[in-house]
Amino acid sequence: MATIEEALAIERLERDIFRGGATESQLTRTFGGQVAGRALVSAVRTVDPTFQVHSLHGYFLRPGNPEEPTVYLVERIREGRSFCTRRVTGVQDGQAIFTMSASFHRGDEGPEHQDVMPQVEAPDGLPDASVTMSPERLWAMREWEHWDIRTVPQEQLVQRDGAVSQQQVWFRYRHPLPDDALFHVCTLAYMSDMTLLGSSKVIHPDEPTQDASLDHAMWFLRPFRADEWLLYDQSSPSAGFGRALTGGKIWDRAGNLVAAVVQEGLIRTPRQQ
């Protein structure tokens, strides 16, 4: 399957127009993380390198076709001294399949604090997902074969009071990545869509559902590397009416809070044919 370099690759067609080609995939629709990651790469290409991504807010509008290229149209919404903003629309066959706003910041001085990383089993003692995944889900490990993904067993989770549906996942890219910090940010944007919606199904393991990401917001808080272990601490505070709200905090192994994610997804009962 595609490497992360291939999954995020785009070509520049015009000053603010980019195109991402088809990549090898087993999916019937384009992985949402790939669309978001390529949209972010497109935005990055239009911003002065002194700025760093600090947030993105995206909406998945239509399923993408993984066998067709996607064009990314970038709008330069704001050019400021400390902040700049880009809006990106992903288009296939003349229709928008994704839209995203991304904000960039040069960085300033200010107070600092962060939550404490939750107590969690270290990744070294957990089996690779290819060992724990059910046979009918092993295709997912072939799709993301370049990622080491290790889910903390539910019985080993430290349950938070009042949290109804929790999940913790360690992950890292298996191969060394370039030292470019922005590439790691775009890589994490790609991977942040993976497993998060699953946190809403932890307490509904036997209920069949149709699932899809609807919207996705992300904040990048501290430097990190995507080829080193990151903990995705996930929860779903609410589900209903065919939708689920999910959120996650992403920590490096040293206990630094590096990113936060909120997503709403579709988890509806399959419709009768």
pLDDT in tens, 223-262: 999 999 999 999 999 999 999 999 999 999 999 999 999 9
Q: How far apart are CA 9 and CA 39, in angstroms?
A: 10
What pLDDT is recorded for position 271?
A: 79
Is there a single domain that holds both residue 194 and residue 242? yes
Indicate if 213 belongs to the active site.
Answer: yes
Question: Cα-Cα-Cα-Cα dihedral of 152, 251, 6, 133, to 10°?
Answer: 0
Residue 267 belongs to domain spanning = 124-272
Residue 43 C-beta-side C-alpha neighbours within 13 Å: 36
Catalytic residue among 103, 166, 193, 234: 193
How do strand 210-220 and strand 52-60 relate by DSSP bridges? antiparallel
* Residues near 271 by beta carbon (within 8 Å), at least 6 away in sequence: 210
Indicate if 263 belongs to the active site.
Answer: yes
Catalytic residue among 192, 213, 234, 235: 213
Which domain CATH number covers 263? 3.10.129.10
Q: How far apart are CA 105 and CA 85, in angstroms?
A: 9
Burial of 207 (0-12, 13-18, 19+ CB in 10 A): exposed
Residue 41 belongs to a domain: yes
What pLDDT is recorded for position 187?
A: 98
What is the per-residue pLDDT across 116-126, written as a single tens digit (0 to 9) for each? 999 999 999 99
Is there a single domain that holds both residue 130 and residue 102? no
Is there a single domain that holds both residue 142 and residue 49? no
* Residues near 138 by beta carbon (within 8 Å), at least 6 away in sequence: 130
What is the per-residue pLDDT across 176-199, written as a single tens digit (0 to 9) for each? 999 999 999 999 999 999 999 999
Percent of the chain with pLDDT over 70: 97
Backbone angles phi, psi at 186, to 5 degrees: -65, -35
Is there a single domain that holds both residue 95 and residue 170? no
* Residues near 264 by beta carbon (within 8 Å), at least 6 away in sequence: 214, 215, 243, 244, 245, 246
Strand partners, 206: none
Confidence of residue 1 (pLDDT cuts 50, 70, 90): confident
Helix (H, G, I), strand (E, B) or coil at 228: coil
Q: How far apart are CA 66 and CA 20, in angstroms?
A: 10
- The residue among 76, 106, 136 that closes a domain is 106
